[in-house]
Structure 1
């Protein structure tokens, strides 16, 4: 019998765990960005409201994906899948915005 237990297939994949300080900083950043989202929602920036809100949301999403889902320390394949998914989402949003921008607005009858 072997004195040292073998880990089948896990020898080359080491788990990376960030420090508590890193997670605390990410938490503070997420809280600040959440407060910024609420404050920006009260300010009328015209057409920039959606752009600013999406920029804050994407920043929060990247913090969660990179640190809490450990994509920052993953393999290239995981990063490629993430980038491919985000590019596909960008393409779909581009088509949705293009469709929205090219539609004519109908007047309200009776006004």
Structure 2
């Protein structure tokens, strides 16, 4: 039974380094772009683009999320495998959303149209200018 230390143990270093250091310019630039895009997001809510409201909002949110992931989460400087995992995750979420929307399209004709009478009463008081849905024929 020997109590000698091995050379490997003596050479072990607990310092793992700093990782990637990002300059203040990149951080403030990215933060400024995110701030401007947040202002654009708020401004877009005052414009009625009809059916394009949702794609516009999702597009702005996607760009902001990409900037955060690339620069604040350091994926821009990380291994390509991590970017592959991120992209694969996003693809699977999009596929899930597509399948859910396909399924909801199958049962949409059987949904009762209109609002329940109590809900319609509250909507008429709180939002008098809102469009009124077709009244349901619930007994």
For the aligned pair, the TM-score class normalised by the smaller chain equals 0.7 to 0.9
Q: Is 1:106 paired with 2:112?
A: yes
Give CA deviations for 1:3-61 in whole Å, capped at 9, x if unaligned: xx7547x58xx722211011111111001111111111111111100000000000000
Give the Cα separation in 2 of the matches to 1:99 and 1:47. 21
One of 70, 73, 81 as aligned partner of 1:69: 73
Give the Cα separation in 1 of the matches to 2:28 and 2:48. 32
Q: Which runs of 5+ in 1 are unaligned?
A: none
Give runs of aligned pairs for residues 87-98 of structure 1, distance below 5 A: 87-98=91-102
Give runs of aligned pairs for residues 1-111 of structure 1, distance below 5 A: 6-7=12-13, 15-102=19-106, 103-104=108-109, 105-107=111-113, 108-109=136-137
SS at match of 2:19: coil
RMSD of aligned residue pairs (Cα, Å): 2.5
SS at match of 1:24: helix
Q: 1:46 to 1:65 in 2, by over 3 A?
A: same
SS at match of 2:56: helix
Q: Hey, which bits of structure 1, 4+ residues long, moved more than 4 A?
A: none
**Greater length-normalized contact order (CA 8 Å, ≥ 6 residues apart):** 1
Q: Which runs of 5+ in 2 are unaligned?
A: 1-6, 114-135
How many residues matched? 105
